[in-house]
Amino acid sequence: MDQPIITVFRSRLRADAPADYDTLADELEARARTFPGFVEFKMFSADDGERLALVTFASDDAEAAWRDDVHHRAAQQRGRDEFFREYDVAVCAVQRRRRWPDSGS
């Protein structure tokens, strides 16, 4: 059985990052959602300016299809050239998971 794959993307934007970063990020998220095996996308920002995106796909093959998408690859290059001061990407397989149900209260 395939395990979910979670990409942990930590980044900091450059001070001179082009203004269309958010537009491009929104377009990429919308595109990722169309890929078979997409599960979810979550974005968080810290007070110190670090950004954290968690992108989950249902399997390694589904994540690889997104990773290798030509539009995603072009955006990655633009990120390195124009947007990011620094970033760190970790692609993780879920080894163990425990969930507690929402009690509704």
**Mean pLDDT in the chain?**
94
Q: For the stretch 37-52, what's the b/e string if a residue is b when 16 or more beta carbons lie within 10 angstroms of its beta carbon?
A: bbeeeeeeeeeeeebe
Place of tokens 């001061």: 85
Q: Is residue 49 part of a domain?
A: yes
CATH of the domain at 26: 3.30.70.100
Q: How many domains does the chain have?
A: 1
Find the domain containing 14 and state its range: 5-93
What percent of the chain clears pLDDT 90, i.e. is strictly above it?
Answer: 86
CB contact set of 18 (below 8 Å; sequence gap of 6+): 82, 83
pLDDT digits (tens, 9 = 90+) for 31-55: 999 999 999 999 999 999 999 999 9
pLDDT digits (tens, 9 = 90+) for 77-91: 999 999 999 999 999
Q: Is residue 29 part of a domain?
A: yes
Q: Which two tokens stand for residue 31?
A: 């595109």
Q: Is residue 102 part of a domain?
A: no
Q: Is residue 99 part of a domain?
A: no
